[in-house]
Amino acid sequence: MNTASATTDYVLGSSDQEHDRLIRQAKTLAPYTERLFRDAGIGPGQHVLDVGSGVGDVALLASGLVGETGRVVGVDRDANALAKARARAARAANVRFIETDLSPQQREAVFSRLPPEYATRFRGPILPTETIPVHMMNVFTEEAAREEPRESIMHLLRYIGERLAASATASGARQIENRAERGQKNLTIDYEEVLRERMIVGTPGRVIDRLQEVREELGLDGILAELNPGSLIPHAQVMRALELLCKEVMPQFK
């Protein structure tokens, strides 16, 4: 069965297959996600808001860290994903999932439905975020590290471009989204521009330098790292990239 929610424009879709892929991906990354959360100070008694919670993997992991005295609220606009998340969290009394869109006009609906004692903890501006795909290789030259993920990265961009272009005239598409223009850009962009403007690829030293440049230029205090953009990079290499990120890159920004 291949179902999709009409409430989401997530470019990779909301099919059962995509949900299964996300669950497998989260299972693989769970030890590293947990380590990141612990390093960030998430622990017993805390309240966690998971924005874009999907099928619930991150929220469920966080629920184990905050324990019975803590609380986790997952927010997503995909009804199909949330149905799966709620089913998976049936035995977790400290997790709750809410279906809504956190646009400026709608996010207040989330806070109005939270218990007063911690709704105020979450209230405040929700800032736009950028995902910076990061891939690292422990190789001898920057050129080799740069070339290793090329096929996977370009596959991802072409796929996104095709999906955006195909959905540009779909019911519910908004003109402000510029899907046709964005789709065409992804279909025609070259790898040099990708590395210059969109992604950070290289040895740990190169990644550290680029992240420092981005932090100084944009004033960022955090990133979301995607270690396998395109999903074509072999699992062992993804795990090695994650290890390098945790052991060699993250300590430089603490």
Residues 99-115: tens digit of each pLDDT: 876 665 555 665 665 55
The more confident residue out of 239 and 126 is 239
Listed by start position, the domains of the chain span 16-122, 131-253
Amino acid 5: pLDDT: 38
Assess whether pLDDT exceeds 70 at residue 82.
Answer: yes
Q: What order of strands is seen across the sheet that includes strand 200-202?
A: 200-202, 131-136, 224-226
The more confident residue out of 125 and 210 is 210
**CA separation for the pair 18, 203 (Å, rounded):** 30
Assess whether pLDDT exceeds 50 at residue 130.
Answer: no
CATH code: domain 16-122 is 3.40.50.150
Task: Check: CB of residue 48 under 8 Å from CB of residue 84.
Answer: no
The more confident residue out of 9 and 90 is 90
Nearest-CA neighbor of 51 among 30, 72, 75, 68?
A: 75
Assess whether pLDDT exceeds 90 at residue 49.
Answer: no
Helix locations, the chain, DSSP H = 16-40, 57-66, 79-88, 107-112, 116-122, 142-147, 150-167, 179-188, 191-193, 204-218, 235-244
Amino acid 192: pLDDT: 93
The answer, as to whether pTM is greater than 0.85, is no
Give the alpha-carbon dihedral of 143, 146, 147, 150, to 10 degrees: -160
The more confident residue out of 209 and 15 is 209
How do 131-136 and 224-226 pair as beta strands? parallel
Tell me how far apart the 2 most distant CA atoms of the chain are, in Å. 55
User: CA–CA distance from 243 to each of 32, 61, 126 (Å)?
Assistant: 9, 20, 30
> 137 pLDDT band (50/70/90 cuts)?
low
